[in-house]
Structure 1
Amino acid sequence: MINFLSYACIGVGLVFWFWGTSHLLGKRSLLFKLHSLSVADTLGSMSIIIGLLMKIPSEWPLLILAIISLAIWNTMLGYVLAYCSSSEDGYE
């Protein structure tokens, strides 16, 4: 049962990765595309790590650290991208 749940989480993660990448082909703004990609990649990566956590529970400290790092890194990257793209900074 654990193997099935592990592979299901990894499969869901891969679906999120491809789903986020598919938004890059749309005609929306660049920021919408980046937001969709970063959210889907974060959720996909976390799902894959949870699947690995079920598969190899002996490595839980490193895998939990990876999940926390993903959450913090992608949140900060989103704020940096939003700040850099704002038109109020006078760099236009």
Structure 2
Amino acid sequence: MINVLSYICIFIGIIFWFWGTSFLLGKRSLLFKLHTLSVSDTLGSISIVFGLLLQRPREWPLLILGIICLAMWNTMLGYVLAYCSSNGGKDD
């Protein structure tokens, strides 16, 4: 049962990866595309690492650290992208 749940999490992660990539072909703004791609990649990667955690429970400290790093770095990247795309709080 754990193997099936693990494979489902990995499959869901791959679906998130492809779903986020599919928005790159649209006609929306570049920032919308980057936001969608970063959110879907984060969720997909966390889902895949969680599936690996179910497969290898003895490696939980390293995999939990990976999940935390994914969540923190991708969140910070989103804030940096948003700040760089704005005028930095300056009114021109």
Name the TM-score, length of structure 1 as normaliser: 0.94
In structure 2, distance between residues paired with 1:60 and 1:87 = 42
Identity percentage of aligned residues: 74
- 2:47 maps to 1:47: yes
1:15 corresponding residue in structure 2 = 15
Gaps of at least 5 residues in structure 1 are: none
Q: Residue 28 of structure 2 aligns to a residue in which SS?
A: coil
Q: Residue 62 of structure 2 aligns to a residue in which SS?
A: helix
Q: Offset at 1:87?
A: 2.9
In structure 1, distance between residues paired with 2:65 and 2:24 = 29
Per-residue CA deviations over 1:20-78 (Å, capped at 9, x if unaligned) read: 00000000000000000000000000000000000000000000000000000001000
1:30 corresponding residue in structure 2 = 30
Name the TM-score, length of structure 2 as normaliser: 0.94
In structure 1, distance between residues paired with 2:75 and 2:14 = 21
2:79 corresponding residue in structure 1 = 79
Moved over 6 A (4+): none
In structure 1, distance between residues paired with 2:43 and 2:78 = 14
Aligned residues: 91
